[in-house]
């Protein structure tokens, strides 16, 4: 009893499709799960701009219609309110599987739902890929390395993850999603790609989603102190969203399975990040120290040698270039919310 969409076989459906201007092949039909979220909506922009058709599946847990509303007039765009924990029938060529809350505040809000999304949601999307012969890309995470004992992290590192902690629903969930994906490849010949995404920021992030860049930017704009957790010496490496989207598409179109680290190797302590935010928005902003959360990784930085060599991809936008673009978007949204 799954909702039926379009039951045309992919090849027959492709046959009738006209070539859009600028595209040297018939347009693809692409599913983006989580496409109303932060990363997903930027990916949808890119896929539609190059002439393909996109179906977004999203349950709007953290996603927003506002992120994709500018495509509502486009006949190549379709939005389905659907929870990936439930099966669905569709006919497409590619599946970008992003559906999953990504901010610690959101994924800890209902940990059992988070693990169901990662396990049952990924299983359903793999079952779909297997049935229709679609290529499947999993957005995994740097969190699968846990609190890493190797620095920077290479794809060969197996990680240091607490299986019973408050972050486990997310990091163990994503590890299981990677396992399922590899098993569908080995057992059912599903064509797959795995991306391990490192901390990403940019326009359309949820303003109050609790992630560090969105917190600091919103706090500085609202003239509140920047909340640094712990001693602020823990590190992260921040990637601008357009670099990530370019990497995801390069990976999908490549001949390589991965896993590939997709991140910006520029590494910052949280205190350094606070300084960059102050320079960008308000040099007088205060810093307030707060207790850190459990199992917080001490350091994180991607080794992206593999993606550079095999995908010919590397990030182009530094934190100091990317941050102002996000600030413009946040300033407008905070103003809109006040009016």
Answer for which of 122, 153, 168, 200 binds ligand NAD (CB under 6 A) is 200
> Segment near ligand UDP (CB under 6 A), from 8-16, 44-52, 87-95, 255-263?
87-95
- Closer residue to ligand UDP (CB): 42 or 71: 42
> Segment near ligand NAD (CB under 6 A), from 9-17, 32-40, 179-187, 274-282?
32-40
Work out the end-to-end distance of the chain between its first and last CA atoms, rounded to an integer number of angstroms: 45
CA distance 228 to 268: 13
Answer for which of 43, 55, 99, 128 binds ligand UDP (CB under 6 A) is 128
CB 34 within 8 A of CB 63: yes
Helix (H) or strand (E) holding 288: strand 287-290
The verdict on 98 binding ligand NAD (CB under 6 A) reads yes
Q: Residues with Cβ < 8 Å from 133, sequence gap 6 or more?
A: 10, 191
We find the least distance from the C-beta atom of residue 59 to ligand NAD, in angstroms, to be 4
The verdict on 93 binding ligand NAD (CB under 6 A) reads no
The verdict on 204 binding ligand UDP (CB under 6 A) reads no
Answer for which of 28, 44, 62, 304 binds ligand NAD (CB under 6 A) is 62
Cα 225 to its chain centre, rounded Å, is 28
The verdict on 162 binding ligand UDP (CB under 6 A) reads no
The verdict on 212 binding ligand UDP (CB under 6 A) reads yes
- Closer residue to ligand UDP (CB): 130 or 306: 130
CA distance 181 to 174: 10
CA distance 19 to 251: 23
Answer for which of 173, 211, 218, 281 binds ligand UDP (CB under 6 A) is 211
Annotated catalytic residue, options 96, 107, 145, 170:
170
- Closer residue to ligand UDP (CB): 98 or 311: 98
109 among known catalytic residues = no
DSSP-derived letter for residue 119 is I
CA distance 300 to 146: 9
Helix (H) or strand (E) holding 213: helix 212-221
| 60 contact, one of ligand UDP, ligand NAD, none, CB 5-8 Å limit per kind | ligand NAD
CA distance 85 to 81: 12
The verdict on 87 binding ligand UDP (CB under 6 A) reads yes
The verdict on 270 binding ligand UDP (CB under 6 A) reads yes
- Closer residue to ligand NAD (CB): 59 or 168: 59
Sign of the C-alpha dihedral, residues 196, 201, 205, 209?
positive
CB 17 within 8 A of CB 93: no
Residue 96 tokens, joined: 């970008």
Helix (H) or strand (E) holding 137: strand 135-141
We find the least distance from the C-beta atom of residue 80 to ligand UDP, in angstroms, to be 13
Residue 97 tokens, joined: 């599987």
The verdict on 123 binding ligand UDP (CB under 6 A) reads yes
Sign of the C-alpha dihedral, residues 64, 301, 171, 288?
negative
Residues found near ligand NAD in the complex (CB under 6 A) = 33-34, 36-40, 57-63, 83-85, 98-102, 117, 121, 139, 141, 197, 199-200
Residues found near ligand UDP in the complex (CB under 6 A) = 2, 87-89, 104, 123-124, 127-128, 130-131, 199, 211-212, 215, 227-229, 234, 236, 270, 292-293, 296
């Amino acid at each position: 009893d799954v909702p039926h969409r379009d039951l045309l076989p992919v090849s027959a459906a492709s046959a009738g499709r006209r070539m859009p201007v600028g595209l040297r092949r018939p347009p693809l039909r692409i599913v983006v799960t989580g496409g109303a979220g932060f990363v997903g909506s930027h990916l949808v922009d890119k896929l539609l701009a190059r002439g393909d058709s996109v179906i977004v599946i999203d349950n709007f847990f953290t996603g927003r219609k506002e992120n994709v509303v500018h495509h509502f007039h486009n006949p190549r765009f379709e939005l389905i309110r659907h929870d990936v924990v439930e099966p669905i029938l569709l006919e497409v060529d590619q599946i970008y599987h992003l559906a999953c809350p990504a901010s610690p505040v959101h994924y800890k809000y209902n940990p059992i739902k988070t693990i169901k999304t990662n396990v049952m949601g990924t299983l359903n999307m793999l079952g779909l890929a297997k049935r229709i012969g679609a290529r499947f890309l999993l957005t995994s995470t740097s969190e699968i390395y846990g609190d890493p004992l190797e620095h920077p992290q290479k794809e060969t590192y197996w990680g240091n993850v607490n299986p019973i902690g408050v972050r486990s629903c997310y990091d163990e969930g994503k590890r299981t999603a990677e396992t399922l994906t590899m098993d569908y490849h080995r057992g059912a010949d599903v064509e797959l790609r795995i991306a391990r995404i490192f901390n990403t920021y940019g326009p359309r992030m949820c303003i109050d989603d609790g992630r560090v860049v969105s917190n600091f930017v919103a706090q500085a704009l609202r003239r509140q102190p920047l909340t640094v957790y712990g001693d602020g010496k823990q590190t992260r490496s921040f990637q601008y969203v357009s670099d990530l989207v370019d990497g995801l598409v390069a990976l999908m179109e490549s001949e390589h399975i991965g896993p590939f680290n997709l991140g910006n190797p520029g590494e910052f302590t949280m205190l350094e990040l606070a300084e960059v935010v102050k320079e960008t928005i308000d040099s007088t902003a205060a810093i307030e120290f707060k207790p850190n959360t459990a199992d917080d990784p001490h350091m994180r930085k991607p080794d992206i040698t593999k993606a550079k060599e095999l995908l010919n991809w590397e990030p182009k936008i530094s934190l100091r270039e990317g941050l102002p673009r996000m600030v413009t978007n946040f300033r407008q949204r905070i103003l809109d919310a006040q009016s």
